[in-house]
Amino acid sequence: MTTLHLVRQSAFATNDFAQCLSVLAHQDAIVFMDDGCYNLKHSLLNSLIERIDNSLALYVIANHAKARAIETLVTINKVSMTEVVELTFNYNKVITWQ
């Protein structure tokens, strides 16, 4: 049982991303989209990258980050919306953090 987490809010503004992290399981994946892209620069991401193993995956919607002038780390996979649709079915369920 795996979960795809769609993170749409900035952790600099709200507590939602922190709540996401508290239920994150080993084989889950996170997609940063909308203002969730700002989390690429948040210190919570460091703790996440420390927790990362081969099974946890991080994605960001490429044009959502680019529109916001956010440089993306190499360890984060840039995806299109079509790939987000694919990911939806690669995981057992989806939680949207908005």
Partner 1 sequence: MKTLAVVVTTPPYSHLTITALNYVEAALQAEVEVIGVFFYQDGVMHANQNISIASDEYQAIQHWQRLHQNYQLPLHICITAAEKRGIVCDALDNEKVNQAFTVSGLGELVELTTKASRLVQF
Partner 2 sequence: MTMIDTQVCSNVEDGNGLAIINSKAPFSSAYGKDALDIALIFGSFEQKVSLFFQGDGVYQLIDNQDGSLLSIKDYLKTFAAFEFYDIEDIYVCHQSLANRELDESFHIEGVNVLQSIEFSEALNQHAHILRF
- Residue numbers at the binding site for partner 2 (CB under 8 A): 1, 3, 8, 10, 12-13, 15-16, 19, 22-25, 34-35, 38, 41, 63-64, 66-69, 92-98
* Crossing angle of helices 43-51 and 16-23, rounded to 10°: 10
Residue number with CB closer to partner 2 (1 or 74):
1
Cβ count within 10 A of residue 12: 13
Cβ count within 10 A of residue 54: 7
The verdict on 15 binding partner 1 (CB under 8 A) reads no
The verdict on 98 binding its own copies (CB under 8 A) reads no
Contact residues toward its own copies (CB under 8 A) are 12-15
